[in-house]
């Protein structure tokens, strides 16, 4: 068993994603799934029902009539959006702070992942004109491996965080002290959860600098989003930011006007998400 798989096994004995999330992941990857199948799963989770109805009736959708049925709500927001909502809600509970540390804060990690997910969705849709649902899901999950490390090997993990500076590679320090890193752990976990392969690969490679990474790929979108949100101080650790390949940096410069508008709009988009999911 690899070190990463060992961490995942130990973590699963402590916490795991709720059954409703894993069930929705299965349904969304099944071409025979119907809207009724989704409704049957959702109605068993009252918290998710409340989130769903709150979202569909929010100003974001601007509907003239109030929606009070699960089936109509799912029809409006779509199955992928619903799945992403369930994952976000589940992760938010897992990320709740239990024991504060000067070196690492789950709350800061949550804010970072939320910022990256929202920025990634905006990038996909505004810059590359593609559906942003997978980019959002990838963003919210990309650093989940850090939670696994913190839960399974907290003392060593905090030492890793304390020793990491702006000139260091977090991944290299993780590998030295933990024999794995959060990218590998996240990659294997998303495999187990049945996430799309493109999401698995982007999570595995989101700290890999390469000229072969296309800006419009999920990996490119996550790396650019981490860079942008890092410049806005949505970082996991102090004084650490995503390093961009010259290829991705050149892409940003070539489209700098569009990126400036996106960055200006990001705080408002995060405020909308906070209204749905809370702080």
CATH no. for 3-16+99-277: 1.10.3210.10
Question: What is the Cα–Cα distance from 90 to 210, expressed in whole angstroms?
Answer: 32
Query: Quick one: pLDDT at residue 52?
Result: 80
Rg of the chain's alpha carbons, rounded to an integer?
Answer: 19
> Would you list the domain boundaries of the chain?
3-16+99-277
Distance CA 187, CA 144 (A): 10
pLDDT of res. 65: 81
- Measured between alpha carbons, how far is 147 from 18 in angstroms, rounded to an integer? 16
Say how far apart CA 70 and CA 36 lie, in whole Å: 10
pTM for this predicted structure: 0.83
pLDDT at res. 266: 94
DSSP label of 124: I
d(C-alpha 264, C-alpha 120), whole Å = 15
Per-residue confidence (pLDDT) for residue 98, from 0 to 100: 65
Asked whether the CA dihedral 120, 125, 129, 135 is positive or negative, the reply is: positive
All residue ranges of the chain with pLDDT < 70 are 1, 16-18, 60, 97-100, 166-168, 239, 275-279
pLDDT, position 277 = 63
pLDDT at 271: 84
In this structure, are residues 204 and 183 in contact, taking their beta carbons and an 8 Å threshold?
yes
Give dist(CA 232, CA 64) in Å, integer.
36
Which residue is it, tokens 């650093």? 143
| Residue listed under structure tokens 């696994």 | 148
CA–CA gap between residue 235 and residue 232 (Å, rounded): 8
pLDDT at 100: 63
3-state secondary structure of 220: helix
Q: What is the pLDDT of residue 240?
A: 73
How far apart are the C-alpha atoms of 118 and 140, rounded to whole Å?
8
Question: Residue 51's pLDDT is what?
Answer: 77
Residue 150, both tokens: 């913190």
Give which of 42, 9, 4, 20 is closest to 174, Cα–Cα. 4
Please give the helix or strand (H or E) that residue 113 lies within, else none.
Answer: helix 106-122
């Amino acid at each position: 068993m690899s070190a990463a798989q060992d961490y995942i096994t130990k973590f699963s004995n402590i916490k795991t994603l709720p059954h409703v999330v894993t069930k929705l992941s299965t349904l969304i990857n099944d071409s025979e799934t119907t809207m009724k199948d989704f409704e049957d799963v959702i109605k068993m989770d009252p918290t998710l029902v409340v989130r769903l109805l709150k979202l569909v009736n929010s100003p974001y959708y601007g509907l003239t009539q109030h929606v009070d049925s699960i089936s109509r709500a799912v029809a409006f927001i779509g199955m992928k959006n619903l799945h992403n909502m369930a994952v976000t809600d589940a992760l938010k509970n897992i990320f709740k702070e239990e024991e504060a540390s000067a070196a690492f804060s789950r709350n800061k990690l949550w804010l970072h992942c939320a910022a990256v997910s929202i920025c990634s969705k905006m990038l996909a849709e505004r810059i590359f004109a593609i559906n942003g649902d997978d980019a959002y899901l990838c963003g919210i999950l990309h650093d989940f491996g850090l939670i696994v490390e913190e839960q399974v090997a907290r003392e060593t993990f905090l030492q890793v965080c304390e020793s990491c500076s702006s000139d260091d590679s977090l991944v290299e320090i993780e590998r030295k002290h933990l024999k794995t890193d959060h990218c590998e752990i996240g990659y294997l976990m998303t495999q187990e959860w049945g996430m799309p392969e493109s999401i698995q690969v982007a999570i595995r490679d989101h700290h890999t600098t390469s000229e072969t990474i296309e800006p419009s790929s999920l990996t490119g979108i996550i790396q650019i989003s981490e860079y942008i949100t890092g410049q806005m101080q949505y970082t996991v650790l102090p004084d650490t930011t995503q390093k961009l390949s010259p290829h991705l940096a050149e892409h940003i410069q070539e489209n700098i006007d569009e990126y400036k508008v996106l960055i200006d709009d990001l705080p408002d988009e995060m405020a909308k998400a906070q209204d749905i999911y809370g702080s």
